[in-house]
Amino acid sequence: MSIGANAVFRPHNAASAALIRFVPNFVALRLSWTQNSLRSEGLEQFVEEFLPIIRENNPQVKYFLHRTYTECDPFVYGE
């Protein structure tokens, strides 16, 4: 069982996600991961659970989500 599946950690992480505010100079967030890869499990969970909360609080930022089938390391890139 992963840490994210543990109900004890969820409220704390959701509360932290609700507090995230990007500065005005921050215009885009790019996230890339490999579908069905153990390496990308954490980023995929983040996108499903916490990114909607962050997007709601930061509507001025553009979000680019790239899920690939080519095996690669997940990455997050801010502009």
For 16-72, how does the pLDDT look when each residue is reduced to its tens digit (9 = 90+)? 888 888 888 999 999 999 988 888 888 888 899 989 998 999 999 999 999 988 888
Which residues, other chains included, contact 16 with Cβ-Cβ below 8 Å and sequence gap of 6+?
Answer: none
Q: What pLDDT, on a 0 to 100 scale, did the predictor assign at position 14?
A: 75
Which residues, other chains included, contact 70 with Cβ-Cβ below 8 Å and sequence gap of 6+?
Answer: 34
Q: What pLDDT, on a 0 to 100 scale, did the predictor assign at position 10?
A: 54
DSSP codes of every residue in 58-70: -TTSEEEEEEESS
Domain range annotation of the chain: 3-78
